[in-house]
A = this chain, B = another copy of it.
Amino acid sequence: MTAPAPDPLDTVFAALADPTRRAILTMLLEDDMAVTDVAHPFAMSLAAISKHLAVLAEAGLITQEKRGRVKWCKLEPDALRAASVWMQGFGQFDPVDLDAFERFLETELGPDQDSLS
């Protein structure tokens, strides 16, 4: 119990602060993926991606299930709910604007990332 139980919002927001991790979440939005497949589009070692996935899992944003020798990563959108609720308190935004979200996917992934069409 060396860790004094940090606020869940700490870990969730910290996890979301990294562009690589946000990109991973976006990928998992489409489908569950194995670690190696998650790593494939990135110019980064597999171990680095493995760490990123650990951070996401720690924050509860994904779950990982090992089936055979491959570990499957699954998005857990509920973990975002607390953070979303917290943010909604600051100035009532448009409830759900999925068009804007689509646009954000574009800018997040960038035009140089064609393997995720």
Contact = CB atoms under 8 A, between A and B. Distances in A.
A96 B90 CA distance: 11
B104 A91 contact: no
Interface in A83-107: 83-98, 100-101, 104-105
Interface residues of A, dominant DSSP: helix
A6 B87 CA distance: 21
Q: Taking the full assembly, how many copies of this chain does it contain? A: 2
A32 to B, nearest CB: 14
A81 interface: yes
Interface residues of A, number: 40
A7 interface: yes
A93 B34 CA distance: 27
Contact of A84 (B9, B13, B93): B93
Interface stretch (A18-26, A36-44, A45-53, A66-74): A18-26
Interface of A: 6-7, 9-10, 13-14, 16-19, 22, 25, 29, 75, 77-78, 80-98, 100-101, 104-105, 108
